[in-house]
Amino acid sequence: MATVGDPPDCGFEQYTADVYAWAYRLLGRHHDALDVVQEVFLRWDAQCARQRPGQPRGWLRRVTLNRAIDFKRQGRLQGGDAIEPRAPAVPSEPAIEPDRTDLRRDITAALDRLTEVQRNVLVAKVYDEMTFAGIAAELDLAVSTAKTHYLRAVRAMRDGLRRRWAEETYV
């Protein structure tokens, strides 16, 4: 039986895989992703102690992306974007390729410039492969609004990544 001071049990474990995947996608390191999972876990429990979010997955995606971008931003400020791992690598963790690290950094920086809802819609569509109808329901938007956010997010990302392909024929 739960007592005062016990962590609230709001079923975070059923979303942990998603939270980890979102964080890892942006950060590219197992231990960084775990740090973000921990922070999101604490925020989730704090939120649950007040009121459980109506759309848990949408709430978690938004908080996770924000935390991952903050994490990346802090790492950049501290010069922590180096390739070497901060903690011993987990067995079977794939090595981080420099190309991927650059791409991830550019994508994260471009995501940072999106609005919160644009970022949420884009990640839900591209990485979670949700439908516009599903995204709209999860974020409490009209379907046409979700599409508009998606299109604007894609265009903003394109502008953000344009520098990366400056030598190529990127329009």
Partner 1 sequence: MKCEDFDMLMADALGGELSSNDRPAFDAHLAECERCRADFESSRRTLEDLRTLPGSRRVAARREGDRLVIEDATSIGRGAPGEIGAITHPTSAKAGPAPMRRTIARFLASPMRYAAGLLIAFTAGYALHAGLTLADASRSTGTVAHVLQDSGTSFEGSLVRAYARNPGRSDLAKCLIAMSSARR
Rounded (5°) CA angle 153-151-168: 75
Whether 58 and 139 have beta carbons less than 8 Å apart is answered as yes
Alpha-carbon distance of 69 to 66, in angstroms, equals: 5
What is the total count of residues that contact partner 1 (CB under 8 A)? 50
Other beta carbons less than 10 A from residue 120's beta carbon: 25
DSSP string, 39-103: HHHHHHHHHHHH---SSHHHHHHHHHHHHHHHHHHHHHHTT---SS-SSPPPTTPPPPPHHHHHH
Q: Candidates 58-66, 71-79, 120-128 — which segment interacts with partner 1 by CB under 8 A?
A: 120-128
Q: How far is the CB of 166 from partner 1 (least distance, A)?
A: 13
Alpha-carbon distance of 9 to 30, in angstroms, equals: 25
**What is the contact mask toward partner 1 in residues 127 to 166, using x (rule: CB under 8 A)?**
x---xx-----------x--xx-xx--xx-xx--x-----
Whether 42 and 24 have beta carbons less than 8 Å apart is answered as no
Binders of partner 1 among residues 5 to 64 (CB under 8 A) are 5-7, 9, 12-14, 16-17, 20-21, 24-25, 28, 30-31, 33-34, 37-38, 41-42, 45
Considering the rule CB under 8 A, would residue 103 count as an interface residue with partner 1? yes
Alpha-carbon distance of 34 to 44, in angstroms, equals: 15
The binder of partner 1 chosen from 62, 67, 119, 125 (CB under 8 A):
125
Considering the rule CB under 8 A, would residue 94 count as an interface residue with partner 1? yes
Q: How far is the CB of 29 from partner 1 (least distance, A)?
A: 10
Contact residues for partner 1 (CB under 8 A)? 3-7, 9, 12-14, 16-17, 20-21, 24-25, 28, 30-31, 33-34, 37-38, 41-42, 45, 90, 92, 94, 100, 103-104, 107, 122, 125-127, 131-132, 144, 147-148, 150-151, 154-155, 157-158, 161, 170-171
